[in-house]
Structure formats: structure tokens, C-alpha cells
């Protein structure tokens, strides 16, 4: 029997987030620069290599696979990869295949995703105001995303909205977003903005809205009941007693969640980041490409990487500077 992946702090690694492209049809201010230079296509793992890489992780005990980007659905022929992963769902080795998307392509792909075995999709949506949406995404169009959400629900996909909490931007929409999600039977998770990428473009400190403050505002209108459940990710959940709605909080700064971290992130170039908030990474592409007929070197490289997984990250805004900032954009590692 294959020995499962365990990190140095005895945390089982059962969740892999895979960025399948660094490209996106939006340019969200907290994720990308407006004028991005994207990677040459030859540096990206092919769809066949992504299949082999993910299948190797699944063979080592990964039970949840989340596909991210950039925007994953803009990658050419990406549904070929989703359909290939269906075999691991059918075998029972993979418990869940999920997707994080900006929603722009959901209208086109929702039915195909459901047919491939995807049952839950996270949609990034920070505002319901069309002008503000255009401003925060730079290139995005809100009606296109809302049509995608309609299509996803019609296809039978369970949705969760991920909203980045941005001070001075969507503070006034806290209850609007909450009530809109409740009316659509969509879960909602708020995320603290993280110090990643070039701070010359956007001031992360000025954007930072503590979820302690957000939660306090929410409690003025609702009774919040803490929930013990976890979905394999970093969110902590409450239920709003009045509506029965579930709200999540992802708090990498206010209350880090490192003690229960069960995940690693694979980039579209085959780099494995053991922690979102650290620069350390391992190159798995070489082990994959240099040994096309054997997975043994790749498995060894994965185990070596997991043995270096740190105890946690050190994001910190408390001194009014972005301590723990990492230089890469969020789109490089996968959202």
C-alpha cells in the first residue's frame, strides 16, 4: 500500500490546488497587474502532463482537486482535462473535483463541468454594482458573470461566492451581497486581501479590511452561530440564524489557519508551492519531463517537497507595512 503524504508537522496532505493557466480575461486589482506578461506556452504543463501530475498526487492520497488559474476556463481544450479526471472520481480515489472561476465562461461550460463530475464551483465576485465590478476587474463585465451563475445553477452545480473584503470598495455592500446570496441559495465566503504581487500598483494596506470588523458589522443585523464544519479549505463558517445561510471567513492575517493546513498548490509550470505565503517551491516539471516512462522520480520529488512544507505563513499588516509579502502575483500560484 502506498504511504500517504504527511508533512513534517504530521498534517496529511489530501488537497491539491492546480493552476492550469496564468492567463485570465480579467485583471482584478488584487490579483494581477493591468499589463501582464504571460508565460510562454512551452513553459506550461500540457494537458497530458497535468493529467499525469494530478494522477500521481491522487495515487499518493490526494482526495480533493481544485482547478484554478488565472481563469482556468480560458485554457484551450480544458474540458479534455476535466473529463480525464472523471476516471478518478469513478474509481473512488478522488472524492471531489472542484473549480474556482471568475464566472466569465460558466455560461458556456456549466453543463460540461457537471457531466465531468464537478458538483461545486467557487465564483469570485466582489461587488454587485456594475460600475464597481468593471473597476475592480478592469476588463470584466458583470452581466456576463451573472448569466454564468444562472447557467451553473441550472446545470445543478452548487455555488459559493468568494468576495475579497476591500476597504472603501465593498464595505457598503456587505448586506447587499449577503442578502443576494441568501435569495439565490448560494453560500458566501469573505476573504482578507493578501500581500501578493507588485505593491506599486495597488496599496494592499489601504485595501485591507479585517474580517473581525466585517463580522462585527454582520452581527449588527444577524445572529451568528459558529459552525464546526470544514470543507477541506481554510474557511471558518457561521450560520445566520435568521436566514439559515452559511457564511465563511478566510482570514490569513487576522487568524491564520495554518495548524490545519492540508493543501499544497501546483502552478501551471509544475512548481509546487507548499505554502501560499512563502516563496519556497519545488520544481516537479523536471522530474515529470525527464522520466516520461516512470513516475518513481516524480513521486520522490513530491515527497521531498512535502518534507519541506513550513509550519505556516507570516502575512502581517500590523505594523502598517506588508510584512510577509510575496513577490509573485496571485495568478501565478492559483487563486
pLDDT single digits (tens) 121-164:
999 999 999 999 999 999 899 999 999 999 999 999 999 999 99
What is the model's pLDDT at position 178?
Answer: 97
Residue-wise DSSP of 213-279: HHHHHHTTTS-EEEE----SSS-EEEEETTT--EEEEE-TTTS--GGG--EEEE-TTSEEES-TTS-
Sign of the Cα pseudo-torsion (331, 158, 216, 253, in order): negative
How many distinct structural domains can be found in the chain?
A: 1
The domain that contains 270 carries what CATH number?
3.20.20.70
Counting as low any pLDDT under 70, the low residues of the chain are 1, 194-206, 230-233, 253-258, 276-279, 313-335
* 3-class state of residue 7 by DSSP: coil
Range of the domain at 206: 15-333
What is the model's pLDDT at position 205?
Answer: 56
Where do the H-state alpha helices sit in 25-105?
47-59, 78-91
Closest CA to 177 of 155, 196, 149, 203: 149
Tell me if the pTM is above 0.85. yes
The answer to whether residue 10 is domain-embedded is: no
The answer to whether residue 180 is domain-embedded is: yes
The answer to whether residue 211 is domain-embedded is: yes
The answer to whether residue 329 is domain-embedded is: yes
What is the model's pLDDT at position 182?
Answer: 96
Question: How far is CA 161 from its chain centroid?
Answer: 12
The answer to whether residue 292 is domain-embedded is: yes
The answer to whether residue 50 is domain-embedded is: yes
What is the model's pLDDT at position 150?
Answer: 98
The answer to whether residue 204 is domain-embedded is: yes
Whether the CB-CB separation of 93 and 117 falls below 8 Å is answered with no
Amino acid at each position: 500500500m502506498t504511504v500517504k503524504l504527511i508533512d513534517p508537522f504530521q498534517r496529511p496532505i489530501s488537497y491539491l490546488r492546480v493552476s492550469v493557466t496564468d492567463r485570465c480575461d480579467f485583471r482584478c486589482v488584487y490579483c494581477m497587474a493591468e499589463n501582464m506578461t504571460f508565460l510562454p506556452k512551452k513553459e506550461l504543463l500540457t494537458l497530458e502532463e497535468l493529467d499525469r501530475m494530478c494522477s500521481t498526487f491522487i495515487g499518493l492520497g490526494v482526495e480533493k482537486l481544485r482547478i484554478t488559474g488565472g481563469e482556468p476556463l480560458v485554457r484551450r481544450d480544458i474540458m479534455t482535462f476535466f473529463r480525464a479526471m472523471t476516471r478518478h472520481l469513478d474509481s473512488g480515489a478522488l472524492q471531489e473535483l472542484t473549480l474556482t472561476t471568475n464566472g466569465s465562461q460558466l455560461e458556456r461550460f456549466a453543463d460540461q463541468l457537471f457531466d465531468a463530475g464537478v458538483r461545486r464551483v467557487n465564483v469570485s465576485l466582489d461587488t454587485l454594482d456594475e460600475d464597481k465590478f468593471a473597476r475592480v476587474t478592469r476588463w470584466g463585465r458583470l452581466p456576463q458573470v451573472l448569466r454564468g451563475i444562472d447557467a451553473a445553477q441550472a446545470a445543478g452545480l452548487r455555488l459559493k461566492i468568494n468576495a475579497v473584503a476591500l476597504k472603501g470598495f465593498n464595505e457598503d455592500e456587505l448586506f447587499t451581497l449577503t442578502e443576494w446570496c441568501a435569495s439565490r441559495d448560494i453560500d458566501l465566503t469573505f476573504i482578507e486581501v493578501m500581500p501578493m504581487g507588485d505593491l506599486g500598483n495597488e496599496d494592499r494596506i489601504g485595501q485591507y479590511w479585517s474580517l473581525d470588523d466585517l463580522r462585527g458589522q454582520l452581527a449588527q443585523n444577524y445572529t451568528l452561530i459558529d459552525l464546526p464544519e470544514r470543507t477541506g479549505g481554510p474557511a471558518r463558517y457561521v450560520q445566520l440564524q435568521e436566514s439559515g445561510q452559511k457564511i465563511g471567513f478566510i482570514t490569513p492575517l487576522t487568524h491564520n489557519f495554518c495548524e490545519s493546513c492540508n493543501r499544497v498548490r501546483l502552478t501551471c509550470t509544475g512548481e509546487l508551492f507548499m505554502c501560499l505565503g512563502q516563496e519556497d517551491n519545488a520544481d516537479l516539471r523536471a522530474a515529470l519531463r525527464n522520466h516520461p516512462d516512470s513516475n518513481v522520480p516524480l513521486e520522490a520529488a513530491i515527497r521531498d517537497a512535502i518534507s519541506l512544507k513550513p509550519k505556516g505563513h507570516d502575512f502581517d499588516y500590523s505594523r502598517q507595512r506588508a510584512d510577509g509579502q510575496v513577490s509573485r502575483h496571485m495568478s501565478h500560484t492559483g487563486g
